[in-house]
């Protein structure tokens, strides 16, 4: 029976077999196909909530130990691990495994601190290949020392840091780390930072007591995380900085947009952007790219406000943003959840393009407007 070269078998399974049923079938054919199929099947592991409470976390942890003890080679395939509820019983099991290929780790509902929980989390995030880390704390479980002890042991390869739900006093100074922490380790060069409801964590990040280097930071996603130290933290970046904000975020009233390295800004095509965000960016800015997100329904239902918003943006951007090279208008796909077979959009893509260009006439005439539809429908 003719067979394909092993490298071609691997290429087909890794790049062209998409559904899990086919991957499971490939895993049962032979040892060669099994290896590559398992590399796809076990590339990402997520521990979901057990809403029916059929198994306790201790029982689920025991079952996981049984699988990994029987097939330890599976750990070599796991590149992403998402723990949706950081039960202490589960953390101890995960922390004792050798995640040699793990480059993305997401820990949600981090529980209240205990020495065992802290040690297990330290082991998890210190893996040599780890590049992306998301920490989401449970209600009122965050405190400065807890947070600092965890991050003090992060891998030097860490580049993407995502922090959520760090609630607590924003005025408390960061607590000193224990003397047992090795402060001489090589620092992780953070390139992407996402702060969601994490005002209390900003002081710890800016205190320079953690092995984190923010001079390479080039992408920031900000939401409801105001703190006096935030501006100092973001100004550490020596790279071209990209910032994404939500104009509806009430904490933006205290956000300082005077960031000398800010080159890219993303926000919604709304009145808040036109009147509350753009005017607060200093005229000495170096912004080169502005991305404005919108949807076809917004222009279909409320065309006139968007014309006024566009006029305000058009005048400000042309007059004060001399480094600006492109304005990207990204049209999000429509929400089809409640659409019926008889529903038809009243505005076509061609009409929408014309409306956007008419709203931004000066920028359009300068050849600076780019309209992107993400390919979910065709022009009429």
- Statement to judge: residues 71 and 98 lie in one domain: yes
- Statement to judge: residues 257 and 226 lie in one domain: no
- Statement to judge: residues 190 and 248 lie in one domain: no
In a domain, 201, yes or no: yes
pLDDT digits (tens, 9 = 90+) for 236-271: 999 999 999 999 999 999 999 999 999 999 999 999
If one counts the domains in the chain, the total is: 3
In a domain, 259, yes or no: yes
- pLDDT of 175 above 50: no
Q: With helix as H, strand as E and coil as C, how does the chain read?
A: CCCCCHHHHHHHHHHHCCCHHHHHHHHCCCHHHHHHHHHHHCCEEEECCCCCCCCCHHHHHHHHHHHHHHCHHHHHCCCEEEECCCCHHHHHHHHCCCCCCCCEEEEEEECCCCHHHHHHHHHHHCCCCCCEEEEEECCCCCCHHHHHHHHCCCCCCCCEEEEECCCCCCCCCCCCCCCCCCCCCCCEECCEEEEECCHHHHHHHHCCCCCEECCCCCEEEEECCCCCCHHHHHCCCCCCEEEECCCCCHHHHHCCCCCCCEEEEEEECCHHHHHHHHHHCCCCCCCCEEEEEEEHHHHHHCHHHHHHHHHHHHHHHHHHCCCCCEEEEEEECCCCCCCCCCCCCCCCHHHHHHHHHHHCHHHHHCCCEEEECCCCCCCC
In a domain, 339, yes or no: no
Give the per-residue pLDDT at 342.
45
pLDDT digits (tens, 9 = 90+) for 138-155: 877 888 888 988 999 899
- Statement to judge: residues 305 and 379 lie in one domain: yes
- Statement to judge: residues 105 and 11 lie in one domain: no
Confidence of residue 5 (pLDDT cuts 50, 70, 90): confident
In a domain, 94, yes or no: yes
- Statement to judge: residues 65 and 211 lie in one domain: yes
- Statement to judge: residues 320 and 355 lie in one domain: yes
- Statement to judge: residues 220 and 267 lie in one domain: no
In a domain, 179, yes or no: no
- Statement to judge: residues 61 and 84 lie in one domain: yes
Determine the structural domain holding residue 299 and report its residue range: 240-334+346-380
In a domain, 311, yes or no: yes
CATH for 136:
3.80.10
- Statement to judge: residues 199 and 252 lie in one domain: no
In a domain, 177, yes or no: no
In a domain, 178, yes or no: no
- Statement to judge: residues 119 and 22 lie in one domain: no
Tell me the average pLDDT across 112-118: 89
- Statement to judge: residues 295 and 308 lie in one domain: yes
CATH for 271:
3.40.50
pTM of this structure: 0.85
pLDDT digits (tens, 9 = 90+) for 280-339: 999 999 999 999 999 888 887 666 788 899 999 999 999 999 999 999 999 987 765 545
Give the per-residue pLDDT at 256.
93
Confidence of residue 344 (pLDDT cuts 50, 70, 90): low
């Amino acid at each position: 029976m003719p067979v394909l070269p092993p490298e071609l078998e691997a290429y087909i399974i890794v790049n062209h077999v998409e559904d899990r049923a086919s991957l499971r079938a490939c895993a049962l054919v032979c040892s060669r196909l099994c290896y590559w199929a398992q590399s796809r099947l076990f590339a990402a592991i997520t521990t979901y909530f057990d809403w029916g409470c059929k198994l306790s976390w201790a029982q689920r942890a025991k079952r996981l130990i049984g699988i990994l003890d029987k097939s330890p080679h599976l750990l070599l395939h796991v590149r992403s691990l998402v723990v949706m509820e950081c039960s202490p019983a589960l953390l101890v099991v995960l922390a004792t495994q050798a995640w040699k290929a793990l480059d993305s780790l997401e820990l949600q509902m981090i529980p209240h601190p205990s020495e065992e929980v802290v040690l297990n989390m330290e082991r998890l995030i210190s893996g040599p290949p780890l590049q992306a880390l998301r920490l989401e704390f449970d209600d009122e479980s965050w405190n400065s020392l807890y947070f600092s002890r965890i991050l003090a042991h992060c891998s030097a390869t860490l580049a993407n840091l995502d922090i959520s739900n760090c609630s607590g006093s924003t005025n408390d100074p960061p607590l000193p780390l224990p003397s047992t922490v090795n402060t001489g380790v090589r620092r992780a060069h953070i390139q992407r930072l996402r702060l969601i409801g994490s005002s209390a964590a900003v002081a710890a990040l800016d205190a320079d007591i953690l092995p984190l280097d923010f001079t390479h930071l080039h992408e920031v996603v900000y939401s409801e995380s105001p703190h006096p130290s935030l501006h100092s933290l973001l100004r550490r970046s020596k790279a071209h900085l990209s910032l994404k904000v939500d104009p509806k975020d009430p904490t933006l009233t205290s956000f300082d947009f005077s960031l000398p390295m800010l080159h890219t800004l993303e926000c919604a095509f709304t009145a808040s952007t036109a009147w509350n965000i753009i005017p607060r960016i200093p005229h000495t800015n170096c912004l080169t790219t502005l991305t404005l997100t919108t949807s076809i329904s917004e222009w279909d239902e409320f065309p006139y406000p968007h014309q006024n918003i566009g006029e305000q943006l058009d005048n400000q951007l042309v007059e004060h943003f001399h480094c600006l090279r492109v304005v990207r208008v990204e049209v999000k796909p429509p929400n089809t959840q409640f659409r019926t077979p008889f529903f038809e959009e009243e505005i076509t893509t061609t009409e929408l393009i014309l409306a956007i260009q008419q709203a931004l006439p000066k920028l359009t005439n300068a050849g600076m407007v780019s309209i992107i539809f993400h390919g979910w429908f065709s022009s009429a």
